[in-house]
Structure 1
Amino acid sequence: MDVSCDLEVDVNGEEIFILDKRIICSYSGRINKLFGKSTGSSSQSLKVIFHDFPGGAEGFELITRFCYNNGTIEINPSNLSRLYYAAHFMEMNKSEKFLEQTEKFLEEMKYWTWSELLVALKQCQDLLPSVNSSGMLKKCLHSLVGLAAETSPCLSNSSPDSFDTRSTESSKNSSVRATWWCEDLVALNTNLIEMVILLMVSQNFNHIITSRFLFYYQKSRFVLATSDQKREITETVINMLYSLDWSAISLKGLFGILRVAMSLNISKCCRNKLESMIGSQMDQATLDHLLVPSPIGTNYFYDVNLVLRFLKLLVGKGMCRVPLVRFKKVASLMDLYIAEVAPDPCLKVSKFLELVRALPDSARDCYDPIYHAMDMYLEVHAGLSEEEKVNLCCGLNNEKLSSEACKHLAQNNKFPPKSAVQALTSQQNKLKNLLRETDQTKPFIDSSPGFVDIDAEKKGEACEQIVVYAGKIDRSTENEKLRVHLQGMQWRVMELEKLCGKMQTQMAKIMKSRFSKSSSADP
């Protein structure tokens, strides 16, 4: 067969091929459409330039071998991808033999080994995005994920933070090793990783294993990545983690990604997803997790606004969806955090109050830690106006302050006198309620010898403490209205003290009388 050289093909600027137009046209529908009817002179060759040929010069060379070898070529996992997509590009649909060979290989893909699948998938990766929605890519991904799932048992008692990725033949056959495949998949780009994870989710792949792999993938790919590549990797990992069961994701890992993401300027959508995942697990966080440095351009020591967003996301779920015990754990954590940020001289009163009020009041059984944090805050912010101090103290629930905290507050010159009055009033109300409950629920004294009414003793001590509190407030600095109010309150407390004293005397007499009767009745 005579072979001429009348067709010049420039493939993606990589290499130029000089070919026989007649041979290529007999197999390629695309070339035939361009030059099939051309009758140019033998001295003038035709030329075509391809800018997006899948597989580049190597892929085109496979096609030319197929055409020059009478439509036959050895097909194997290492060249199937390039042949498949190059043939589609060249519109070689008329070659029934080639189509039969490729279709047969695609059908047998489910029996391929892990290594063969990985080779084919990496070739597909080189051909993206032109093969993004092809049937071959989907079959390869399904086979790969299916093989990984078969050898990845559920990890019911494992921690989301532990991870092992050594890929050896012995480990691949071990039911204990559930993540042997992870090291191999790190080589895939973000487009393919996204497809792999979505397939894992659709096939109910273990979410703990999947989330571990994503954290490992992000860490491994960062080693040689540019800033733009790091941003793309981080956004992909966040999006994929968001599709998993959030309770299966390591909170430590999420905070690790958060600290990285802060310097990468990731999209607002991805940042919101990341914060949502963290906010949902706030009861599992530690103080170290929350102590994130403030962004550049702000004066705060720590990123208070970030923590507030976490809390809003948690509270946004509502008390009906989040158990109260979880809110109480978060409240204990926030008490530590508020105490940590209180000495920050740049922290505004409004921001401090936001932190205190971010959780519902029912989340705290005691406000003593908040009071001590306010005490530190006022120590650092000595220049606050009286109005600002009063506004700050609005964050206290005096009903949930201990008597020791109230005593300290009443003698604390850093707090406004109005707060001392409120604390005293709260203690007065507590005492009234205690007396009322005693009258209703304890009309009689226990007749057992040696019985002591502890509540009555506590009432007497509470009355004495309240009188001391009121007496130690510096009233000389207050206006006439406040002095009158304090005097009236102190008088009412003294009356309660007298009442407590009478009750104690009566209780003692009754106990003495009953004890005497009991003694005389003994033989």
Structure 2
Amino acid sequence: MASAGKVTAFRREGNEWFCQSGLPSDIIVTVDGVQFNLHKFPLVSKCGKISEICEASPDKKTLITELEEFPGGPDPFLIAVKFCYGMRVELSPRNIVMIYCAADYLQMTEELGEGNLLSKSENFLHKNVLQNWKDCILALQSCNPVLPNAEQLGIITKCLNAISLMVSTDPSLFGCPMMICFSDVNLKPGKIRSLAEALPESSRPFHDGLYRALDIYFKAHPWLPEREKEELCNIIDYQKLSIDACSHGSQNERLPHRTVLQVLYFEQMQLRTALAGCLHVFDTESRPEPAGPLPGQIVQRDMCVTVVRENQVLKGDMENMKSRVGELEEEFSRIKQGMRRR
């Protein structure tokens, strides 16, 4: 088993990769139909998996093997091969999950040498990716091609835990930044639920952000069954939705019917509470003032004019709320009747 010599580059010809080292290859590895013409020595010195394959066929001058179900396919395998040949490998949030899974599959452990690819991948994940919410989201988005391997290695759980910890210290992260994650068409409902449930209640006193995130997820996944939508909506505490969020949700066709019914109910409650508050204000303002001049009465005249104007605006708001409550009651009854017919 001879050394491959100094390697300067790899070149591709059709469906084959060749190493430019000046020596003929003595091992041919196929990954998802792509053939790699390589050398045993650099691979065996870094990959426990390749070492086992070579030991099982010691007499073959040129070994031909296929790596079935290789995580991520030919691209991460090529990166692992370049690492074995001593070439520089760039790790990033977008490729770290596939490289991590590839290194685990090839058994590139510290037993074969210090600073092997598996430990480098693990260190990069912990020291770089898990320290930044943007990088965590990019890593999660790249998991789909290697999902079973990423789950088995605990990479997804680590990313979700890191995000939940960052959101618990900075609740604003559950707003627009997190929408990037929820708009990913490859993100499974179970991962959405895990992420939302991992967040402590103290990090989200209001659930408007969670509602917006689910709405974006439903928009990106129009094929999602009604039952799965209902299960995801169960993570929302409707009492923590603002009137604006309730108003949007009660007219949102992407939400399941049962959820719309619940949103309508809590919107009615909030509007009635607001209406009662307005009536209390009007009752207080309409009480007769004591007879006789008051100190500073002339000075307060302009303030009184302002209060009258504000009251007129409040009266208009109150009429709008009364009208909206009536509409909600009609819509509430209509949906209930429709659900009974089913």
Given the alignment of the two structures, is residue 24 of structure 1 paired with residue 24 of structure 2, yes or no? Answer: no
Aligned length: 252
**Sequence identity percentage:** 20
Q: Which residue of 2 aligns with 1:184?
A: 180
CA distance in 2, matches of 1:277, 1:291: 12
Give 1:91's aligned residue: 107
Which residue identity lines up with residue 224 of structure 2 in the other structure?
A: R
- The answer (yes or no) to whether the contact 1:141–1:196 under 8 Å persists in 2 is no
Q: In structure 2, what is the equivalent of residue 200 of structure 1? A: 196
Residues 1:38 and 1:121: Cα distance change in structure 2 (over 3 Å): same
Q: Map residues 92-131 of structure 1 onto 2, 5 A cutoff.
A: 92-93=108-109, 94-95=111-112, 96-98=114-116, 99-109=118-128, 112-131=131-150
Q: Residues 119-518 of structure 1 correspond to what in structure 2 (within 5 A)? A: 119-153=138-172, 179-189=175-185, 191-192=187-188, 194-202=190-198, 203-204=200-201, 205-206=203-204, 207-219=207-219, 221-222=220-221, 230-231=223-224, 235-248=227-240, 275=258, 278=261, 282=265, 284=268, 285-288=328-331, 290-291=333-334, 304-307=337-340
- 2:29 paired with 1:9: yes
Aligned letter for 1:25?
A: V
Q: Deviations over 1:327-386 (max 9, x none)?
A: xxxxxxxxxxxxxxxxxxxxxxxxxxxxxxxxxxxxxxxxxxxxxxxxxxxxxxxxxxxx
Seen in structure 2, the aligned counterparts of structure 1 residues 119 and 276 have a Cα distance that, compared at 3 Å, is: closer
Q: Is the 8 A contact 1:179 1:209 kept in 2?
A: yes
Q: CA deviation at 1:308?
A: 7.0
Root-mean-square deviation (CA, aligned residues, Å) is 3.5
Q: What is the CA distance between 1:18 and its match in structure 2?
A: 1.7
- Shift of the alpha carbon at 1:109? 3.8
Gaps of 5+ in 2: 5-22, 269-327
Aligned to 2:79: 62
For each residue in 1:187-223, what CA deviation from the matched residue of structure 2 results, as whole angstroms up to 9, or x when unmatched?
434645632442332322423321221012212x15x
Q: Which amino acid aligns with 1:275?
A: R
Q: 1:252 to 1:30 in 2, by over 3 A?
A: farther
Task: Indicate if the aligned counterparts of 1:290 and 1:307 stay in contact, CA closer than 8 A.
Answer: no
**Structure 1 residues 276 and 83: alpha-carbon distance in aligned structure 2, compared to 1, 3 A threshold:** closer
Distance, in Å, in 2 between the alignment partners of 1:6 and 1:100 is: 28
Q: Counterparts of 2:193 and 2:139 in 1: how far apart (Å)?
A: 18
Query: Following the alignment from structure 2 to structure 1, what is the Cα–Cα distance between the partners of residues 163 and 189?
Result: 12
Task: Quote the Cα distance in structure 2 between the aligned partners of 1:216 and 1:76.
Answer: 27
Aligned-partner residue type, residue 107 of structure 2: E
Displacement of 1:66: 1.1
Considering Cα pairs closer than 8 Å and 6+ residues apart, tell me whether 1 or 2 has the greater RCO. 2
CA contact (8 A) 2:93 2:135 kept: yes
The CA deviation at 1:20 is 1.7
